[in-house]
Amino acid sequence: MATLRSLLALSISFACAEAGKATEIYRHGWDTVADVMGMHGKYSDPDVLPDDKSVAFIAAHYKTVTTGSGCGKSRNITLEDGALDVAARIKAANPDVLVGMYMRTDMQLEVATAGCTFITEELTAAGSAYSLRDDSGALISKNNNYLWDYTNADARALFTSYLVGVVNRTLVAGHVAAGRPAMDYVYLDGPSWTAVEGISAARNAAIGAAKYGFFTELQATFADLPGGGRNVILNGVDDPGTAAAFSATGAAGVMFDHWSILQYVNRGPGCNDPANTTCGTFNATAMDGAFDLARSAALSNLTLQVKGWVGPVIKQQGHYPPSMHTPATPAEQAAVAAERFNSELALFLLVAEDRTFWLYSWFWGFDSWVPDRSDSQTPHGFYPQAACALGAPGGPPQRVGATWTYTREYAHASVFVDLTNRTASRVDFKGSC
């Protein structure tokens, strides 16, 4: 396996090649279902990189790839170097794949772990100066990890330097995409700001504004980098409030990560009763609102990643209602993923546009997306209908009268969605399939 040094070069200049350049919206084609598909899977250890077979599969089957890792046990390479190595190998197989790296924005978890990132030493040297405190001066933690204090300019600058350092790596001479960025975007988890107990309303407002301002400044910095703009994608636009807040930051993209599960299905009292067949069915009003949100003006100028799931999921990871059997083994999960592919695809195609990507899996692990590994949750040979001819949509979705059913036509497919019967939703292909 080629080493990171042989594949990547670090550009040391962060000078703006073209000040004020607009952010780029990622767009896909419509030839086949595969054209709308992406993946988001982290592996656990940058010292144990994904094998060549998995990388080749990903490069051949997904248009966008978000990846990353935990912190290596032997500390041979940093988290970001591991992700950049995988990005370079994907682009060696298919230079047109859009690749991004996962990073949290609430907890300092990865960047505070010894040997994990190239700014860990600097963060450690700062002590707790860059960590959030309540009004009494006590440090605030989440899952035993300190939080970034976005009102601290030095903290913002350090985090910015880290993320810019990742997306400013370019592919070296000899690579099929030499000179182009190895990473096209960063995927930032935990971007919302929720008021923290022990902090005054005024301070909470200031922290929230500073955090959202950080995303604005970061996207502007990314857009002006030499060699083409890079993007910020924020997780979690599951309601109109977060959609409006994230859109206002100027970030280039967002993810709708609870699409069709959790709060969009019925999980009320009595859901623990196996005889309760209502549990896990769509909350039709909520899901109808999700359709509107995915196509709303707030998200119309953004790349939108829609996280598809093997539903109905009432609890993560992948729990079905008690009235249904929850697939327990990777082989069983892969089989059910194949079985439900068509009906889950229908929920996405109802709202899709050329800037909207579908990411279908059981969860966020790397092997949720690749076949033929001991813990793979993707069926051998991939999903046959990914190769089906699709074509562009002929118009927006249509609701059928006062029912909870919807239709939409594509050049080579008809979409039907039924919010009273999830698996009755379907895509009927008209042409090559």
Report all structural domains of the chain as residue ranges with CATH numbers, in order of start.
4-13+27-388 (3.20.20.70)
Task: State residue 104's pLDDT score.
Answer: 97
Task: State residue 386's pLDDT score.
Answer: 98
What's this model's pTM, rounded to 2 decimal places?
Answer: 0.94
The answer to whether 287 touches 294, Cβ cutoff 8 Å, is no
CA-nearest of 131, 114, 124 to 79 is 114
Sheet holding 303-309, edge to edge: 38-40, 64-67, 98-104, 185-189, 231-235, 253-256, 303-309, 356-361
Task: State residue 268's pLDDT score.
Answer: 86
Peptide bond into 316 cis (omega under 30): no
> Which runs of consecutive H residues, i.e. helices, occur in 131-266?
153-167, 201-223, 240-248
Task: State residue 15's pLDDT score.
Answer: 31
Residue 325, token pair as written in the block: 């059997």
Task: State residue 75's pLDDT score.
Answer: 75
Task: State residue 21's pLDDT score.
Answer: 63
| Regions in the chain scoring below 70 on pLDDT | 1-21
Backbone phi, psi, residue 352, to 5°: -70, 145
At 97, the amino acid letter reads V
